[in-house]
Amino acid sequence: MATTPGSDLSFYKLDYNGQAFLPVTNNTTLCLHTSLGCGNGYGSTDGLPFYESYTAGGQGCGSVDLTQMAVSLGVSVTWYSPMGPLSFSLAAPLKKPDNAETQIFQFSLGQTF
């Protein structure tokens, strides 16, 4: 994404979303998912406008302290039921920021990812 020529703001954003589905058995598939993005202002625009900023843990990326980023490892199972997808996730924190709340179990009904 880039701004329209003649606009008051000049910035760019590059986004990538990827998924890979790997068969494990005849009835089980492993899904790997990633979302990456970067962007910045150019010309007279310093950084991204607030409404275009990426967020990490509820903070704008410009103010994120990478040493305080959480890292976790887990598994998730999704069942495509007649009511819609049901997802159950279990994860364990590998690196927990100071005073962070952890959520080991997560359940979701509806859209996945």
Mean pLDDT in residue range 27-55: 81
For the chain, what is the mean pLDDT? 79
Whether 60 has a pLDDT exceeding 90, the answer reads: no
Cα 71 to Cα 96: distance, rounded to the nearest angstrom: 7
Q: What was the pLDDT predicted at 23?
A: 93
Contacts 24+ apart (CB under 8 A), 40-44: 40/11, 40/12, 41/9, 41/10, 41/11, 42/10, 42/11, 42/12, 43/10, 44/10
Distance CA 50, CA 10 (A): 13
Q: Name the most confidently modeled range: 28-32, 33-37, 40-44, 82-86.
A: 82-86
Residue with tokens 């020529």: 5
Q: How far apart are CA 10 and CA 3, in angstroms?
A: 6
Is the pLDDT confidence value at 58 over 50? no
